[in-house]
Amino acid sequence: MTDIPQPDGGTYDSACSGALIAPRWVVTAGHCFHDVNRNPVSGPPQYGSTTATVGRTDLSDDGGHVLDVVDVKQSPDTDIALAKLSAPVRDIEPLRLNRTAPVAGDPVRLVGWGATTADGAPETHLQMGDFTVTSVDEHDVYVSGAAPSADTSACPYDSGAPYFAETARGPRLVGVESTGPDCPHTGPETTSRVDTVARWILRQIH
């Protein structure tokens, strides 16, 4: 949850999804942190309270952690941001980064707090859907819904949600939700590649 500036000088509450990738770091979409002109911003949040909820699948529960975001780092190349937490999370295994290029046909899974319609509110229960990689370019991975239906798609508030692949070494973060048509739709959905910025991410969080 973050406060977003408005042209009249006020702010409004907004929400994105993300994934814990280190004890004090969450990866999300770069556009989740922007100024009044919608330009991505870095540094400590400037517009009010920004928090990250980690370790819950139901927002009505009181488990997990709710921590302040104290710093934001924007990727120079893709729609990816890193949010630094006020304290480390030690009881949740971080999601590891994918280090190789995905290819068309690869299965990936999206997990996020997005709405289920284009004009809906964020869900209070964590949502999940399966996708198939349709194509890949220098900065992005394009995916289409696979299950539970072909029009499974990211929706508002899924921005920053992780797309991960199951591998023999465990789940790996392949992409971060960026943008797409109004949901539901049959794709493609645009997700920012992680493998091309993995070295940059690791430099920031260590």
C-beta neighbour count of 141 within 10 angstroms:
31
More confident position, 115 or 198 = 198
Residue 169 neighbours by CB under 8 Å, 6+ apart: 96
2-85 and 96-197 share one fold = yes
Matching CATH number, 2-85, of 1.10.10.10, 3.90.850.10, 2.40.10.10, 2.10.109.10: 2.40.10.10
Residue ranges covered by each domain of the chain: 2-85, 96-197
pLDDT number for residue 3: 45
pLDDT number for residue 153: 95
Please tell me the pTM assigned to this model.
0.91
d(CA 146, CA 206): 36
The predicted-structure confidence for 104-126, as pLDDT tens digits, reads as follows 999 999 999 999 888 888 888 99
d(CA 201, CA 206): 9
Q: Are 171 and 125 in contact (CB under 8 A)?
A: no
The predicted-structure confidence for 58-87, as pLDDT tens digits, reads as follows 988 888 999 999 999 999 999 999 999 999
Matching CATH number, 96-197, of 2.40.10.10, 1.10.760.10, 3.40.50.280, 1.20.120.80: 2.40.10.10
C-beta neighbour count of 119 within 10 angstroms:
9
Q: In what order do the strands lie in the sheet with 19-22?
A: 19-22, 25-28, 81-85, 65-74, 51-54
pLDDT number for residue 7: 45
Q: Which DSSP helix (H) or strand (E) runs through 206?
A: none
Q: What are phi and psi of 187, to 5 degrees?
A: 95, 180
